[in-house]
A and B are shown apart, each in its own frame.
Chain A
Protein backbone atom coordinates (compact mmCIF):
# COMPACT_ATOMS: atom_id res chain seq x y z
CA UNK A 1 0.00 0.00 0.00
CA UNK A 2 2.77 2.34 1.02
CA UNK A 3 4.49 1.65 -2.26
CA UNK A 4 1.39 2.46 -4.25
CA UNK A 5 1.09 5.80 -2.50
CA UNK A 6 4.75 6.50 -3.03
CA UNK A 7 4.37 5.67 -6.68
CA UNK A 8 1.35 7.97 -7.03
CA UNK A 9 3.09 10.86 -5.29
CA UNK A 10 6.26 10.44 -7.28
CA UNK A 11 4.34 10.39 -10.56
CA UNK A 12 1.65 12.87 -9.66
CA UNK A 13 2.55 15.21 -12.51
CA UNK A 14 2.51 12.44 -15.08
CA UNK A 15 -0.84 11.21 -13.83
CA UNK A 16 -2.24 14.74 -13.76
CA UNK A 17 -0.98 15.28 -17.30
CA UNK A 18 -2.58 12.09 -18.59
CA UNK A 19 -5.83 12.94 -16.84
CA UNK A 20 -6.02 16.47 -18.25
CA UNK A 21 -5.05 15.27 -21.73
CA UNK A 22 -7.71 12.56 -21.61
CA UNK A 23 -10.27 15.14 -20.51
CA UNK A 24 -9.35 17.47 -23.38
CA UNK A 25 -9.48 14.67 -25.95
CA UNK A 26 -12.82 13.56 -24.53
CA UNK A 27 -14.23 17.06 -25.03
CA UNK A 28 -12.84 17.08 -28.55
CA UNK A 29 -14.45 13.78 -29.47
CA UNK A 30 -17.74 14.95 -28.02
CA UNK A 31 -17.89 17.94 -30.33
CA UNK A 32 -17.21 15.69 -33.29
CA UNK A 33 -20.27 13.57 -32.61
CA UNK A 34 -23.31 15.33 -33.98
CA UNK A 35 -26.04 16.25 -31.49
CA UNK A 36 -24.02 15.12 -28.55
CA UNK A 37 -21.93 18.26 -28.43
CA UNK A 38 -23.01 18.74 -24.88
CA UNK A 39 -22.21 21.24 -22.21
CA UNK A 40 -19.33 23.11 -23.77
CA UNK A 41 -20.40 25.71 -26.25
CA UNK A 42 -20.13 29.43 -26.80
CA UNK A 43 -23.86 29.69 -26.07
CA UNK A 44 -23.39 30.30 -22.37
CA UNK A 45 -23.80 33.43 -20.32
CA UNK A 46 -20.10 34.22 -19.96
CA UNK A 47 -18.85 33.83 -23.52
CA UNK A 48 -22.18 34.91 -25.02
CA UNK A 49 -22.15 38.06 -22.92
CA UNK A 50 -18.59 38.95 -23.88
CA UNK A 51 -19.21 38.29 -27.56
CA UNK A 52 -22.40 40.30 -27.49
CA UNK A 53 -20.58 43.21 -25.86
CA UNK A 54 -17.73 43.11 -28.38
CA UNK A 55 -20.17 42.77 -31.24
CA UNK A 56 -21.85 46.06 -30.45
CA UNK A 57 -18.86 47.88 -31.96
CA UNK A 58 -18.97 45.71 -35.03
CA UNK A 59 -22.70 46.30 -35.42
CA UNK A 60 -22.17 50.03 -35.43
CA UNK A 61 -19.41 49.86 -38.02
CA UNK A 62 -21.60 47.93 -40.46
CA UNK A 63 -24.84 49.88 -40.15
CA UNK A 64 -24.65 51.19 -43.72
CA UNK A 65 -24.19 47.75 -45.14
CA UNK A 66 -27.06 46.26 -43.13
CA UNK A 67 -29.30 49.08 -44.30
CA UNK A 68 -28.42 48.39 -47.90
CA UNK A 69 -29.20 44.71 -47.50
CA UNK A 70 -32.56 45.54 -45.95
CA UNK A 71 -33.41 47.88 -48.82
CA UNK A 72 -32.49 45.18 -51.32
CA UNK A 73 -34.64 42.65 -49.54
CA UNK A 74 -37.54 45.07 -49.23
CA UNK A 75 -37.33 45.70 -52.94
CA UNK A 76 -37.52 42.00 -53.70
CA UNK A 77 -40.39 41.42 -51.31
CA UNK A 78 -42.31 44.38 -52.71
CA UNK A 79 -41.89 43.01 -56.21
CA UNK A 80 -43.24 39.65 -55.11
CA UNK A 81 -46.09 41.28 -53.24
CA UNK A 82 -47.26 43.41 -56.15
CA UNK A 83 -47.26 40.45 -58.49
CA UNK A 84 -49.14 38.43 -55.91
CA UNK A 85 -51.92 41.02 -55.70
CA UNK A 86 -52.42 40.78 -59.45
CA UNK A 87 -53.00 37.06 -59.49
CA UNK A 88 -54.79 36.28 -56.25
CA UNK A 89 -57.54 38.36 -54.81
CA UNK A 90 -57.10 38.64 -51.07
CA UNK A 91 -60.80 38.48 -50.22
CA UNK A 92 -60.90 34.77 -50.92
CA UNK A 93 -59.17 34.05 -47.61
CA UNK A 94 -62.08 34.50 -45.29
CA UNK A 95 -61.15 31.64 -42.97
CA UNK A 96 -57.92 33.09 -41.64
CA UNK A 97 -57.28 30.39 -39.01
CA UNK A 98 -56.46 27.77 -41.61
CA UNK A 99 -53.92 30.01 -43.30
CA UNK A 100 -51.55 30.27 -40.41
CA UNK A 101 -48.65 29.06 -42.50
CA UNK A 102 -46.21 26.31 -41.70
CA UNK A 103 -43.23 28.45 -40.86
CA UNK A 104 -42.62 31.11 -38.29
CA UNK A 105 -39.71 33.55 -38.66
CA UNK A 106 -37.72 35.24 -35.92
CA UNK A 107 -34.82 37.63 -36.24
CA UNK A 108 -31.45 37.46 -34.47
CA UNK A 109 -27.98 38.91 -34.75
CA UNK A 110 -24.81 36.91 -35.25
CA UNK A 111 -22.42 37.82 -32.43
CA UNK A 112 -19.71 35.29 -33.17
CA UNK A 113 -18.87 33.74 -36.49
CA UNK A 114 -16.21 31.15 -37.39
CA UNK A 115 -15.38 30.13 -40.91
CA UNK A 116 -11.69 29.24 -41.01
CA UNK A 117 -11.81 25.94 -39.10
CA UNK A 118 -12.98 22.51 -40.28
CA UNK A 119 -15.96 22.67 -37.90
CA UNK A 120 -17.51 26.09 -37.64
CA UNK A 121 -20.21 27.44 -35.38
CA UNK A 122 -22.00 30.75 -35.04
CA UNK A 123 -23.45 32.30 -31.92
CA UNK A 124 -26.73 34.23 -32.02
CA UNK A 125 -27.90 36.84 -29.52
CA UNK A 126 -31.31 35.21 -29.01
CA UNK A 127 -32.16 32.07 -27.09
CA UNK A 128 -34.95 30.23 -25.32
CA UNK A 129 -36.48 33.48 -24.10
CA UNK A 130 -37.11 34.48 -27.71
CA UNK A 131 -38.58 31.04 -28.44
CA UNK A 132 -35.62 29.58 -30.29
CA UNK A 133 -35.08 25.85 -29.93
CA UNK A 134 -32.56 23.45 -31.38
CA UNK A 135 -33.13 22.20 -34.94
CA UNK A 136 -34.46 25.53 -36.17
CA UNK A 137 -33.13 26.69 -39.53
CA UNK A 138 -31.09 29.87 -39.88
CA UNK A 139 -31.05 31.92 -43.11
CA UNK A 140 -30.42 35.42 -44.39
CA UNK A 141 -32.20 37.10 -47.26
CA UNK A 142 -29.52 35.70 -49.57
CA UNK A 143 -29.49 32.10 -48.45
CA UNK A 144 -28.95 29.37 -45.91
CA UNK A 145 -26.60 29.81 -42.93
CA UNK A 146 -27.06 26.72 -40.78
CA UNK A 147 -29.10 24.93 -38.15
CA UNK A 148 -29.53 25.82 -34.47
CA UNK A 149 -27.75 23.31 -32.32
CA UNK A 150 -27.69 24.38 -28.67
CA UNK A 151 -29.76 26.99 -26.88
CA UNK A 152 -29.62 28.61 -23.48
CA UNK A 153 -31.83 31.32 -22.12
CA UNK A 154 -30.23 34.23 -24.00
CA UNK A 155 -27.96 32.80 -26.67
CA UNK A 156 -27.96 30.02 -29.21
CA UNK A 157 -25.29 28.21 -31.14
CA UNK A 158 -25.69 27.44 -34.84
CA UNK A 159 -23.95 24.68 -36.78
CA UNK A 160 -22.79 26.57 -39.84
CA UNK A 161 -23.09 24.98 -43.29
CA UNK A 162 -19.31 25.32 -43.14
CA UNK A 163 -19.12 22.40 -40.71
CA UNK A 164 -18.13 18.86 -41.60
CA UNK A 165 -21.03 17.57 -39.47
CA UNK A 166 -23.61 19.62 -41.33
CA UNK A 167 -25.78 17.86 -43.92
CA UNK A 168 -28.57 19.79 -45.53
CA UNK A 169 -30.97 18.47 -48.10
CA UNK A 170 -30.68 20.54 -51.28
CA UNK A 171 -31.84 20.34 -54.87
CA UNK A 172 -31.49 21.89 -58.30
CA UNK A 173 -33.93 24.74 -58.67
CA UNK A 174 -34.92 23.70 -62.18
CA UNK A 175 -35.43 19.97 -61.97
CA UNK A 176 -35.85 18.96 -58.31
CA UNK A 177 -33.02 16.42 -58.44
CA UNK A 178 -31.79 16.45 -54.87
CA UNK A 179 -28.65 15.61 -52.93
CA UNK A 180 -27.06 16.51 -49.65
CA UNK A 181 -24.96 19.54 -49.00
CA UNK A 182 -21.64 19.03 -47.22
CA UNK A 183 -18.41 20.98 -46.78
CA UNK A 184 -14.89 19.74 -47.41
CA UNK A 185 -13.35 22.34 -45.09
CA UNK A 186 -11.28 24.14 -47.71
CA UNK A 187 -12.92 27.27 -49.08
CA UNK A 188 -15.51 29.20 -47.04
CA UNK A 189 -17.28 30.28 -50.24
CA UNK A 190 -17.64 26.83 -51.80
CA UNK A 191 -19.68 23.92 -50.46
CA UNK A 192 -20.29 20.52 -52.05
CA UNK A 193 -23.56 19.00 -53.18
CA UNK A 194 -23.15 15.22 -53.39
CA UNK A 195 -25.32 12.25 -54.36
CA UNK A 196 -27.07 14.05 -57.19
CA UNK A 197 -28.13 11.36 -59.70
CA UNK A 198 -26.38 11.31 -63.05
CA UNK A 199 -29.61 11.91 -64.93
CA UNK A 200 -29.84 15.44 -63.54
CA UNK A 201 -29.09 18.04 -66.22
CA UNK A 202 -26.54 20.05 -64.25
CA UNK A 203 -25.11 23.19 -65.83
CA UNK A 204 -22.64 25.71 -64.52
CA UNK A 205 -24.45 28.69 -63.03
CA UNK A 206 -27.59 26.75 -62.10
CA UNK A 207 -29.18 27.74 -58.81
CA UNK A 208 -29.18 25.32 -55.86
CA UNK A 209 -32.01 25.67 -53.34
CA UNK A 210 -33.06 23.82 -50.19
CA UNK A 211 -35.03 20.65 -50.84
CA UNK A 212 -38.51 19.79 -49.64
CA UNK A 213 -37.27 16.70 -47.83
CA UNK A 214 -35.99 18.70 -44.90
CA UNK A 215 -38.19 19.40 -41.89
CA UNK A 216 -36.04 22.38 -41.00
CA UNK A 217 -36.04 24.64 -44.04
CA UNK A 218 -38.94 25.54 -46.30
CA UNK A 219 -38.46 24.35 -49.87
CA UNK A 220 -36.77 26.75 -52.25
CA UNK A 221 -34.54 28.85 -49.99
CA UNK A 222 -31.56 29.81 -52.18
CA UNK A 223 -28.15 28.39 -51.33
CA UNK A 224 -25.75 29.08 -54.18
CA UNK A 225 -24.93 28.53 -57.81
CA UNK A 226 -23.10 25.64 -59.50
CA UNK A 227 -19.41 26.47 -59.81
CA UNK A 228 -18.30 23.22 -61.43
CA UNK A 229 -19.18 19.52 -61.22
CA UNK A 230 -17.87 16.06 -61.96
CA UNK A 231 -19.02 12.45 -61.62
CA UNK A 232 -17.87 10.54 -58.53
CA UNK A 233 -15.89 7.29 -58.58
CA UNK A 234 -18.90 5.08 -59.16
CA UNK A 235 -19.76 7.23 -62.23
CA UNK A 236 -23.40 7.39 -61.16
CA UNK A 237 -23.59 10.49 -58.98
CA UNK A 238 -22.48 14.06 -59.46
CA UNK A 239 -20.27 15.91 -57.01
CA UNK A 240 -21.12 19.56 -57.48
CA UNK A 241 -19.14 22.50 -56.15
CA UNK A 242 -21.60 25.19 -55.12
CA UNK A 243 -20.62 28.84 -54.73
CA UNK A 244 -22.65 30.27 -51.84
CA UNK A 245 -24.79 33.37 -52.36
CA UNK A 246 -24.04 34.35 -48.77
CA UNK A 247 -20.69 35.75 -47.83
CA UNK A 248 -20.16 33.51 -44.82
CA UNK A 249 -17.41 35.76 -43.53
CA UNK A 250 -19.79 38.68 -43.12
CA UNK A 251 -23.31 37.88 -41.99
CA UNK A 252 -24.84 40.33 -39.52
CA UNK A 253 -28.56 39.75 -39.06
CA UNK A 254 -30.32 36.45 -39.69
CA UNK A 255 -33.79 34.89 -39.69
CA UNK A 256 -34.47 31.86 -37.54
CA UNK A 257 -37.14 29.59 -39.02
CA UNK A 258 -39.46 27.44 -36.98
CA UNK A 259 -41.38 24.69 -38.75
CA UNK A 260 -44.69 24.60 -36.89
CA UNK A 261 -45.64 21.21 -38.33
CA UNK A 262 -42.38 19.54 -37.47
CA UNK A 263 -43.53 17.81 -34.27
CA UNK A 264 -46.59 16.35 -35.96
CA UNK A 265 -44.63 15.08 -38.96
CA UNK A 266 -42.01 13.49 -36.71
CA UNK A 267 -44.73 11.84 -34.66
CA UNK A 268 -46.32 10.47 -37.78
CA UNK A 269 -43.04 9.11 -39.02
CA UNK A 270 -42.37 7.49 -35.68
CA UNK A 271 -45.74 5.72 -35.80
CA UNK A 272 -44.83 4.51 -39.23
CA UNK A 273 -41.67 2.89 -37.97
CA UNK A 274 -43.40 0.96 -35.21
Chain B
Protein backbone atom coordinates (compact mmCIF):
# COMPACT_ATOMS: atom_id res chain seq x y z
CA UNK B 1 0.00 0.00 0.00
CA UNK B 2 2.82 2.38 0.94
CA UNK B 3 4.47 1.54 -2.29
CA UNK B 4 1.33 2.50 -4.16
CA UNK B 5 1.06 5.88 -2.37
CA UNK B 6 4.68 6.71 -3.13
CA UNK B 7 4.25 5.68 -6.75
CA UNK B 8 1.23 7.95 -7.14
CA UNK B 9 2.98 10.91 -5.54
CA UNK B 10 5.95 10.52 -7.90
CA UNK B 11 3.58 10.12 -10.84
CA UNK B 12 1.66 13.27 -9.84
CA UNK B 13 4.74 15.50 -9.53
CA UNK B 14 6.50 13.97 -12.52
CA UNK B 15 3.54 14.38 -14.84
CA UNK B 16 2.98 18.01 -13.81
CA UNK B 17 6.63 18.81 -14.51
CA UNK B 18 6.71 17.02 -17.86
CA UNK B 19 3.49 18.77 -18.84
CA UNK B 20 4.43 22.35 -17.97
CA UNK B 21 8.11 22.28 -18.87
CA UNK B 22 8.06 20.20 -22.05
CA UNK B 23 4.66 19.34 -23.51
CA UNK B 24 3.09 22.79 -23.14
CA UNK B 25 5.80 24.20 -25.38
CA UNK B 26 5.17 21.91 -28.32
CA UNK B 27 2.35 23.91 -29.95
CA UNK B 28 2.31 21.65 -33.01
CA UNK B 29 0.73 23.50 -35.98
CA UNK B 30 0.24 26.48 -33.72
CA UNK B 31 -2.15 25.15 -31.11
CA UNK B 32 -1.95 21.37 -30.70
CA UNK B 33 -0.52 20.20 -27.38
CA UNK B 34 -0.75 16.72 -25.90
CA UNK B 35 -2.07 16.65 -22.35
CA UNK B 36 -0.23 13.70 -20.89
CA UNK B 37 -0.91 14.59 -17.24
CA UNK B 38 -4.43 13.11 -17.51
CA UNK B 39 -2.61 9.77 -17.27
CA UNK B 40 -2.55 10.23 -13.49
CA UNK B 41 -6.34 10.18 -13.38
CA UNK B 42 -6.57 7.27 -15.80
CA UNK B 43 -4.10 5.13 -13.84
CA UNK B 44 -5.16 5.99 -10.29
CA UNK B 45 -6.03 2.75 -8.42
CA UNK B 46 -9.54 1.73 -9.42
CA UNK B 47 -10.71 0.60 -5.99
CA UNK B 48 -9.35 3.60 -4.05
CA UNK B 49 -11.30 6.12 -2.00
CA UNK B 50 -13.39 8.19 -4.40
CA UNK B 51 -13.38 11.40 -2.30
CA UNK B 52 -9.61 11.50 -2.07
CA UNK B 53 -9.43 10.78 -5.78
CA UNK B 54 -11.68 13.76 -6.58
CA UNK B 55 -9.56 16.07 -4.42
CA UNK B 56 -6.31 14.81 -5.96
CA UNK B 57 -7.69 15.30 -9.46
CA UNK B 58 -8.67 18.84 -8.59
CA UNK B 59 -5.18 19.54 -7.25
CA UNK B 60 -3.61 18.03 -10.36
CA UNK B 61 -5.61 20.25 -12.70
CA UNK B 62 -5.08 23.21 -10.43
CA UNK B 63 -1.28 22.86 -10.48
CA UNK B 64 -1.36 22.88 -14.27
CA UNK B 65 -3.59 25.98 -14.15
CA UNK B 66 -1.14 27.73 -11.85
CA UNK B 67 1.64 27.27 -14.35
CA UNK B 68 -0.45 28.11 -17.37
CA UNK B 69 -2.29 31.12 -15.92
CA UNK B 70 -5.55 29.62 -17.07
CA UNK B 71 -7.69 30.10 -13.98
CA UNK B 72 -9.44 26.82 -13.27
CA UNK B 73 -10.05 25.23 -16.66
CA UNK B 74 -7.78 22.22 -16.15
CA UNK B 75 -9.09 21.73 -12.61
CA UNK B 76 -12.69 21.68 -13.85
CA UNK B 77 -11.95 19.22 -16.65
CA UNK B 78 -10.00 16.92 -14.32
CA UNK B 79 -12.69 16.89 -11.64
CA UNK B 80 -15.34 16.00 -14.21
CA UNK B 81 -13.50 13.01 -15.65
CA UNK B 82 -12.50 11.86 -12.16
CA UNK B 83 -16.17 11.96 -11.18
CA UNK B 84 -17.43 10.01 -14.17
CA UNK B 85 -14.50 7.58 -14.24
CA UNK B 86 -16.42 4.69 -12.58
CA UNK B 87 -19.06 4.94 -15.31
CA UNK B 88 -16.42 5.04 -18.03
CA UNK B 89 -14.70 1.99 -16.56
CA UNK B 90 -17.96 0.06 -16.41
CA UNK B 91 -18.76 1.09 -19.98
CA UNK B 92 -15.37 0.12 -21.39
CA UNK B 93 -14.47 -2.98 -19.38
CA UNK B 94 -17.91 -4.27 -18.55
CA UNK B 95 -18.26 -6.93 -15.88
CA UNK B 96 -14.58 -7.27 -15.00
CA UNK B 97 -14.54 -3.79 -13.51
CA UNK B 98 -17.20 -4.78 -10.98
CA UNK B 99 -14.98 -7.54 -9.66
CA UNK B 100 -12.44 -4.89 -8.66
CA UNK B 101 -9.52 -6.98 -9.86
CA UNK B 102 -8.92 -5.01 -13.01
CA UNK B 103 -5.47 -3.91 -14.08
CA UNK B 104 -5.12 -1.63 -17.05
CA UNK B 105 -2.12 -3.47 -18.48
CA UNK B 106 -4.00 -6.77 -18.63
CA UNK B 107 -7.14 -5.48 -20.36
CA UNK B 108 -7.80 -6.04 -24.07
CA UNK B 109 -6.41 -3.34 -26.32
CA UNK B 110 -9.78 -2.22 -27.72
CA UNK B 111 -11.35 -1.73 -24.30
CA UNK B 112 -8.31 0.15 -23.05
CA UNK B 113 -8.32 2.41 -26.09
CA UNK B 114 -12.01 3.22 -25.71
CA UNK B 115 -11.56 4.03 -21.99
CA UNK B 116 -8.65 6.38 -22.71
CA UNK B 117 -10.21 7.92 -25.80
CA UNK B 118 -13.57 8.73 -24.19
CA UNK B 119 -11.91 10.18 -21.07
CA UNK B 120 -9.57 12.33 -23.12
CA UNK B 121 -12.28 13.65 -25.44
CA UNK B 122 -14.51 14.64 -22.50
CA UNK B 123 -11.58 16.22 -20.68
CA UNK B 124 -10.42 18.19 -23.71
CA UNK B 125 -13.89 19.37 -24.63
CA UNK B 126 -14.50 20.82 -21.16
CA UNK B 127 -10.98 22.25 -21.12
CA UNK B 128 -11.20 24.08 -24.44
CA UNK B 129 -14.81 25.09 -23.95
CA UNK B 130 -14.04 26.79 -20.63
CA UNK B 131 -10.93 28.31 -22.15
CA UNK B 132 -12.91 29.93 -24.97
CA UNK B 133 -15.88 30.60 -22.70
CA UNK B 134 -18.35 31.31 -25.48
CA UNK B 135 -20.79 29.34 -27.61
CA UNK B 136 -19.94 31.28 -30.74
CA UNK B 137 -16.52 29.62 -30.96
CA UNK B 138 -17.85 26.08 -30.70
CA UNK B 139 -16.29 25.04 -34.03
CA UNK B 140 -12.81 26.02 -32.87
CA UNK B 141 -13.45 24.22 -29.58
CA UNK B 142 -14.44 21.02 -31.40
CA UNK B 143 -11.49 21.29 -33.76
CA UNK B 144 -9.05 21.73 -30.90
CA UNK B 145 -10.71 18.90 -28.95
CA UNK B 146 -10.35 16.50 -31.85
CA UNK B 147 -6.78 17.31 -32.87
CA UNK B 148 -5.30 17.75 -29.39
CA UNK B 149 -7.32 14.72 -28.28
CA UNK B 150 -5.82 12.44 -30.93
CA UNK B 151 -2.37 13.73 -30.06
CA UNK B 152 -2.97 13.14 -26.34
CA UNK B 153 -4.32 9.62 -26.87
CA UNK B 154 -1.25 8.72 -28.92
CA UNK B 155 1.17 10.09 -26.29
CA UNK B 156 -0.70 8.32 -23.50
CA UNK B 157 -0.80 4.98 -25.33
CA UNK B 158 2.89 5.28 -26.16
CA UNK B 159 3.90 6.08 -22.59
CA UNK B 160 1.77 3.18 -21.35
CA UNK B 161 3.62 0.86 -23.70
CA UNK B 162 7.04 2.29 -22.82
CA UNK B 163 6.47 2.08 -19.07
CA UNK B 164 4.51 -1.18 -19.01
CA UNK B 165 5.80 -3.91 -16.76
CA UNK B 166 5.16 -6.80 -19.10
CA UNK B 167 8.84 -7.47 -19.55
CA UNK B 168 9.25 -8.50 -15.92
Contact = CB atoms under 8 A, between A and B. Distances in A.
A30 B71 contact: yes
Nearest to B22: A54
Interface in A150-178: 157
From A26, A28, A119, residue with most partner B Cβ within 10 Å: A28
Contacts of B76: 21, 24-25, 28
Given A17-B79, A24-B75, A31-B69, A54 B131 contact: no
A28 B71 contact: yes
B66 to A, nearest CB: 5
B141 to A, nearest CB: 10
B64 to A, nearest CB: 11
Contacts of B95: none
Nearest to A58: B25
B131 A119 contact: yes
Interface stretch (A37-45, A92-100, A129-137): A37-45
Interface in A96-150: 112, 114-119, 121, 123
Interface in A162-213: 185-188
Interface string B101-136: 000000000000000000000000000001111000
B58 A24 contact: yes
Contacts of A44: 66
A233 to B, nearest CB: 15
Interface string B64-75: 011111111101
A30 to B, nearest CB: 6
A112 B67 CA distance: 9
A188 B30 CA distance: 8
Contacts of A29: 71
Given A16-B55, A20-B54, A25 B130 contact: yes
Nearest 10 A-B pairs (CB), nearest first? A27-B72, A31-B71, A24-B72, A24-B76, A24-B75, A121-B69, A28-B71, A28-B72, A116-B31, A17-B83
